[in-house]
Amino acid sequence: MCMMCYNLMKDVSFILASSSPRRKELLERMGLSFSIVSPDVDESLSVGAKEMVETLCRRKALAVVEKYPQSIVLAADTVVVKDGTVFGKPKNDKEAFRMITLLQGDTHQVMTGVCVICPGKAIQVATEATRVKFASMSPETVWRYVQTGEPFGKAGGYEIQGICGMFIEAIEGSYTNVVGLPTALVRSMLHKTGYFN
């Protein structure tokens, strides 16, 4: 049992509204006990990045809390943003190649919206943004990276803790945010519920 486990509200269960293995791993590293319920929501939005991630994380959390109203529910949504363009998850090799080509050799932002819903308390929604600097990559290098399969299922088409980490020259802000969940922000939000001290 993790020495950092802080489940103080014994009668209240904690649910991660996400099927992301990266978010699961990050919460486990925080020493939290939780269940996973993957929400089925419409993620199509044509708005700015901050409004998008905040709307979607809230939408995901509400979808789960509707079924489990006595639980604390945590949901998140992550996008990559460069020059006002929002990058979600690539659907195929061509999209992944285009995304990495546009990101390489420059700086972009990784933005995650986090929503926490706790019975009897106000809904919390917050956003974390991290700046990431990509090294320059030749088209051949980009294509070889795409062929590893790593870009799929990841916002912006890359995984900082994976193969692509060798192309990340610098980050400014939360590293775990780039992985998929800003754990310092999550700790602060859960602290307000009394679930995590």
Q: How far is CA 154 from CA 9, 50, 96, 179, 185, in A?
A: 33, 18, 10, 9, 21
**Pairwise CA distance, residues 179 & 162, whole Å:** 10
By C-alpha distance, which of 64, 67, 70, 99 is closest to 83? 99
By C-alpha distance, which of 24, 119, 49, 29 is closest to 57? 49
**Structure tokens that stand for 106 in this block:** 């420059």
Residue 93 is a catalytic residue: no
Q: Are 157 and 87 in contact (CB under 8 A)?
A: yes
**Structure tokens that stand for 12 in this block:** 């209240």
Q: What is the DSSP letter of 46?
A: -
DSSP string, 55-115: HHHHHHHHHHHTT-TTSEEEEEEEEEEETTEEE---SSHHHHHHHHHHHTTSEEEEEEEEE
**Active-site position among 40, 42, 77, 106:** 77
Q: Write out the catalytic residue numbers.
A: 77
